[in-house]
Amino acid sequence: MWRTVLQLEWRILRRDRGALAILGIFSLFLILAAVAGGRQATLLADSQTRAQVSEENRLTSLGARLMELQGETGPRRAKDPRDPVWMGKEGGIHLAVLPPAPLASVAVGQRDLHPQIVQVSTEVELAAERETETPMSGPTRLGTGAFDPAFLFVVLFPLVIIALSYELLSGERERGTLAMLLAQPVSQGDLVLGKASARALALCTVTLIFALIGLFVAGADLTTAAAWGQVALYASILVTWALFWFALAVWINARGQTSAGNALAMVGVWLVLVVVVPGLVHIAVDTVYPPPSKLELMHEAQEAAKDANQEVAGLKGRHDVDTQTKTYAKNLVKAQDALLKRTEPLMHELEETLSQRQAMVDWLRFLSPAIVVQLALEDVAGSGAVRHQRFDQQLDAFHPTFRAFYFDRIKSGSDLTAQDLQDRPELTFEEEPTGALTQRVLGGVLGILLLAAFLVATAWPRLKRIGRLTA
């Protein structure tokens, strides 16, 4: 019988100006959020393109210069491309890039915190020199975060559902039509379930259509099968998030309160799940595993480098002028190796702390479906902590290879050639397997669906009562 109620409610919604206005305004906001997210993704992509073009031009110029110097036996000049010391530190550095994911416009996520371009050199650094080009942020942006589809769905989407569902049953009772409806062969459970299903269907249809339009408007790259797989995950997250809030509306309507009471209760739940609990989780993680202090890291780096710098300053000879003084460059390599060994424990401790923080967040995310949805949207958008951590791990594995390329030539006392420059190692980021991403996202989706089913199941005994509900 609930299907009949669904069909009737669908017809009513098509003529309800208030519901149509809510859906229209939400659709407009969704497109605006997609445009804003697309602008952020475009700025990032353009910045990376400019950096890569600049690197290619620089390497091309150095290669041409090496060809000119081929066979020349005179002393090295300053910034001589034949010098592996200068090339490793400055001239021949490599820009490692974390490319935007196909659905990058969905969530800015942690891109504001983690670097998207890293300069890889032979230098031993606690934090590599990282360049990321982001627009200037005002106090509003810093305080509220980016206005992107993820923010819209996590924060504002539930309010739309509250506006559409707070009076599923109480509205009929207050208008005096509940008794007339229950005189027909329909139960309160069928009535509420049918009305909730019709409104959920309408909202999800509009949401999915405009979410897909938003991806095209934002310039998402949907030319690969993997990208469409991420679109499917995106859609599953949105539908699951909507079903949870409609299930909550059914549960609250089953309590028999007034429409005003239902609205107040749902807004209270929204405040707890979307605002309070995520804030408390953030405080808990910072308390148990305090984030490393940048000032402390800088201090430790300076202390660790002090002895090495003193040793380097005491070395004799100028590698850029005196080609006979080969010991300078070799001793410089030894000093950097010693600095690396000294800083390794500190960097290991930092990585361990970050891993523990992420593990704690993974456990505590189930305290609020809002956290699960936010992290899932960031994963789909390629802006989550897992992808950035994967990038950092690949950088850590690549850096010794890059340093060895130049250090081997320094130790052998040989000059760099144009062919050496072409053979220079480069890092190409390897994406996470699609199965791992799908498993992680669908795990959160399943948890929310189970919670929604629990809410409906516990509300059903109350909804089966005939007549006016009591608290």
Higher pLDDT, 322 or 422: 422
Round the average pLDDT of the chain to a whole number and report it: 81
Beta bridge partners of 117: 97
Domains of the chain, residue spans: 1-70+81-471
**Rounded mean pLDDT of 291-297?**
56
* Beta carbons within 8 Å of 150's beta carbon, 6+ residues apart: 37, 106, 107, 108, 109, 374, 377, 378, 381
Q: What is the pLDDT of residues 333-370, one digit of tens each?
A: 666 666 666 666 666 666 777 777 778 887 888 889 99
Q: Which of 347, 426, 307, 391 is nearest to 127 (CA)?
A: 347
Alpha carbon distance 195, 181 (integer Å): 13
pLDDT reading at 308 higher than 80: no
Q: How far is CA 265 from CA 56, 203, 245, 247, in A?
A: 59, 21, 12, 14
* Beta carbons within 8 Å of 362's beta carbon, 6+ residues apart: none
pLDDT reading at 387 higher than 60: yes
pLDDT at 361: 81
Which of 36-40, 99-103, 135-139, 237-241 shows the highest mean pLDDT? 237-241
Phi-psi region of 102 (alpha: psi -120 to 50; beta: other; left: phi over 0): alpha
pLDDT reading at 383 higher than 60: yes
CA atoms within 13 A on the CB side of 420: 23
Share of the chain above pLDDT 70, in %: 79
* Beta carbons within 8 Å of 322's beta carbon, 6+ residues apart: 75
**Rounded mean pLDDT of 300-323?**
51
Contact between 260 and 469 (Cβ < 8 Å):
no
* Beta carbons within 8 Å of 251's beta carbon, 6+ residues apart: 455, 456, 458, 459
**Rounded mean pLDDT of 388-398?**
89
pLDDT at 5: 74
**Rounded mean pLDDT of 259-278?**
94
pLDDT reading at 306 higher than 70: no
pLDDT at 446: 95
Alpha carbon distance 398, 310 (integer Å): 28
Q: What is the pLDDT of residues 200-219, one digit of tens each?
A: 999 999 999 999 999 999 98
pLDDT at 124: 65
CA angle centred on 433, ends 430 and 436, rounded to 5°:
135
